[in-house]
Amino acid sequence: MNKIELLAPAGDLEKLKMAIIYGADAVYLGGESFGLRKASKNFSMKEIEEGINFAHERGKKVYITMNIVPHNEDLVGLEDYITELYNLKVDGVLVSDPGIFSVIRRTIPDLPIHLSTQASATNYETIMFWYNLGIRRVVLARELSFKEIEDITKKIPKDLEIETFVHGAMCISYSGRCLLSNYMTGRDANRGDCAHPCRYKYHLMEEKRPREYFPVYEEDEGTFIFNSKDLCMIEHIPELIKSGIKSFKIEGRVKSSYYVATVVRAYRMAIDEYYKNPENYSYNSKWLEEITKASHRDFTKGFYFGKPTEEDQVYTSSSYIRGYDFVGLILDYDKNTKIATIEQRNRMFVGDEIEVFGPNKDYFVQTIDKMWDEEDNEIEVAPHPQQIVKMKMAYPVEKMDMIRKGRKD
């Protein structure tokens, strides 16, 4: 069976490796130019090379985002950049602008080009326009329902792949068309520098009569009128696959390594379970429970089942829900002593109840009975960022497994 692709965000090299180790079939990332995420660390060319080698050694793919809406100065150096990526054997690039597309086709004709969601592809005629120019994968606009997606997949050629977002933050604006950040702060969302004004707190004024205005609010502090819930489609794996989508995309290049690992792992488990027996697939609520252990907003189904309503917005806060902290990364494990060497990521105390999880397996719970520092001195707390500590594990663990603990606040 030709399985769908699980596509994960990679904001830096560690996140790339985490995504692949925890089950992604491919990752997408931005270089230091031409991409839409200035807030993420992004990759130098040397890091891109290391990331591609890491992925290819494991049979995975790497796509590079080049989906800005460019001004003249943004085109400088494009040919050299593309040539270098091609020589590194990148698996494809994402573009939204016809000018960037033209330069790439002219410079490296056989480099695979994917149409970014920034291009707002919402119908099969637009998709066929790009197909006839050489595009072989289209990332659909987020504003499409299952019915619209199915109509598209039935009318396009077999060698044209459809990719859609299935998880992550939603934009209040139409895909690729937001100017609010530029207008309010001078930071251009379509050139990678969005200030996320949709998450701001607003006081809405409504005109009732000439030159007289009244505040419209839900509470004294105002309301987050543009603040969307996060997309989550893990409960609908069969519908996604049957609709003809070929790549399930997770949003979040500025999210943490812990977030990437947690979300990718949950979708990997759900997808693999489906392919074991598609006719008798049964959704398991533990997958959604796992996702909620990473920072998130309340969830929505986006446009998949029709246009969102007021129920798909968060009116009270723009903050994330954080029920767990990522506290440690397993670096090594001695099977004889059952002692793990751990890189601390948040404070841990003796007596803490922790959960330990890794790719392709369930988590287990244990209490920290004892901890030692790098010099084997017994300690009560690991307070220092990336401090190396040791502890005995209740069950065997592996390198790159993670430790989390519930928050008490």
Pairing of strands 339-344, 348-349: unpaired
Give pLDDT, residue 5.
98
Residue in 328, 338, 326 with CA at minimum distance from that of residue 388:
328
Same domain for 237 and 201, yes or no, is no
- Give, in order, the Cα–Cα distances in Å from 341 to each of 53, 178, 324, 383, 390: 27, 46, 21, 16, 5
Based on its alpha-carbon atoms, the radius of gyration of the chain, rounded to whole angstroms, reads: 23
* Residue 216 CB contacts under 8 Å (≥ 6 apart), including other chains: 204, 205, 206
Q: Per the domain annotation, does 184 fall within a domain? A: no
Nearest to 84 by CA among 117, 45, 118, 121: 45
Residues 102 and 46 grouped into a single domain = yes
Residue carrying the six token digits 């996604």: 240
Q: Report yes or no on 60 lying in a domain.
A: yes
DSSP 223-260: B-TT-BPEEE-GGGHHHHHHTT--EEEE--TTS-HHHH
pLDDT at 42: 77
DSSP character string of 39-97: TS--B-HHHHHHHHHHHHHTT-EEEEE------GGGGTTHHHHHHHHHHTT--EEEE--
d(CA 149, CA 144): 7
Decide which of 303, 338, 364 is a domain's last residue: 303
Structure tokens at 65: 């985002």
Question: In the chain, how many domains are there?
Answer: 3
* Cα–Cα distance for residue pair 100/68, rounded to 1 Å: 9
CATH code for the domain of 368: 2.40.30.10
Residue 185 lies in a domain: no
74, 76, 68: which is closest to 36 by C-alpha? 68
Q: Is 162 within a domain?
A: yes
pLDDT value of residue 296: 85
CA distance 183 to 197: 10
Q: What is the pLDDT of residue 212?
A: 46
Residue pointed to by tokens 């839409």: 36
C-alpha–C-alpha distance, residues 376 and 390, integer Å: 8
In terms of domains, do 28 and 64 share one?
A: yes
Residue 308: Cβ within 10 Å count: 18
How does DSSP classify residue 280? G
Clarify whether residues 138 and 232 are in a common domain. yes
Residues 160, 88, single domain; the answer is: yes
Whether 310 is in a domain gets the answer no
The neighbour count for residue 351, using CB atoms within 10 Å, is 10
| Residue 399 dihedral angles phi and psi, to the nearest 5° | -55, 135
- pLDDT at site 1: 55
pLDDT at 320: 74
Same domain, 141 and 253: yes
92 with 199, same domain: the answer is no
The verdict on residue 95 lying in a domain is yes
- Give the H/E segment covering residue 18: helix 13-21
Q: Which amino acid is at 317?
A: S
Q: What is the pLDDT along the chain (409 residues), one digit of tens a residue?
A: 579 999 999 999 999 999 999 999 999 999 887 765 555 457 999 999 999 999 999 999 999 999 888 889 889 999 999 999 999 999 999 999 999 999 999 999 999 999 999 899 999 999 999 999 999 999 999 999 999 999 999 999 999 999 999 998 877 666 666 667 676 787 766 656 777 666 666 655 555 555 544 444 455 554 566 677 889 999 999 999 999 999 999 998 889 999 999 999 999 999 999 999 999 999 999 999 999 999 888 889 989 998 877 776 666 666 778 899 999 999 999 999 999 999 999 999 999 999 999 998 999 999 999 999 999 999 999 999 999 999 999 999 999 999 999 998 6
Domain end call among 205, 226, 247: 226
Quote the tokens at residue 257.
Answer: 């390594």
Residue 4 sits at the vertex; the CA angle it makes with 55 and 402, to the nearest 5 degrees, is 50
> Among candidates 160, 190, 187, 162, which has minimal Cα distance to 175?
190
User: Would you say the pTM of this structure is higher than 0.85?
Assistant: yes
pLDDT the model gives residue 211: 54
As a whole number of angstroms, the distance between CA 208 and CA 198 comes to 25
248 phi, psi to nearest 5 deg: -95, 120
Has residue 123 been placed in a domain?
yes
389 and 344 in a common domain: yes
The answer to whether residues 290 and 338 belong to one domain is no
Predicted pLDDT at 215: 47
Q: Are residues 160 and 202 in the same domain?
A: no
For residues 20 and 70, membership in a common domain is answered with: yes
Q: Quick check: is 175 in a domain?
A: no
Phi-psi region of 89 (alpha: psi -120 to 50; beta: other; left: phi over 0): left
Closest CA to 327 of 348, 353, 341: 348
The Cα 323–Cα 309 span in angstroms is 27
Task: Check which CATH number belongs to the domain holding 23 and give it.
Answer: 3.20.20.70
Please give the Cα distance from 21 to 8 (Å, whole number): 11
Task: Domain of residue 357: give its range.
Answer: 324-406
**Do 42 and 87 sit in the same domain of this protein?**
yes
